[in-house]
Amino acid sequence: MKSNYHCAVKDCKREFCALHRFPKFNEQPERFRLFVEATGNDNLKKLTPRKIYDRIRICNNHFKLEDMRRVGDNRFALFRHAVPSVNIYEI
Ligand SMILES: [Zn+2]
């Protein structure tokens, strides 16, 4: 089954890549903001944090290896303070 999600980062063309949820805004507002900025995707600014958490994903391609740990075949979990820092949209 094909996933409905794709990476939110502007111009990211990666497919078949592990995807991550955004942080919860009410728990980590600053980290949430850094994720939104890293995407360079202004459409996200029109969505509520709740909708972003439910619908938007960001792919593995924007994190360093040390930002995540493998939790299964092609599944990775981000560490709690990881932020996108690789191949992100330059502001
Ligand atoms: Zn991506």
Q: What's the CA-to-centroid distance between 17 and ligand 1, angstroms?
A: 8
Q: What's the CA-to-centroid distance between 68 and ligand 1, angstroms?
A: 15
pLDDT in tens, 12-48: 987 778 899 999 999 999 999 999 999 999 999 999 9
What is the 8-class DSSP label of residue 59? E
Strand partners, 70: 76
Q: What's the CA-to-centroid distance between 26 and ligand 1, angstroms?
A: 24
Q: What's at 23, amino acid-wise? A: P
pLDDT in tens, 50-91: 999 999 999 999 999 999 999 988 789 999 999 999 988 765
pTM of the predicted protein model: 0.88
Instruction: In whole angstroms, give the CA distance from residue 14 to residue 16.
Output: 7
Q: What's the CA-to-centroid distance between 33 and ligand 1, angstroms?
A: 17
Q: What's the CA-to-centroid distance between 13 and ligand 1, angstroms?
A: 7
Q: Which residues surround ligand 1, an ion (CB under 5 A)?
A: 7, 9, 12, 14, 59, 61
Tell me how far CA of residue 12 lies from CA of 38, 41, 55, 69, 86, in angstroms: 11, 11, 17, 22, 11
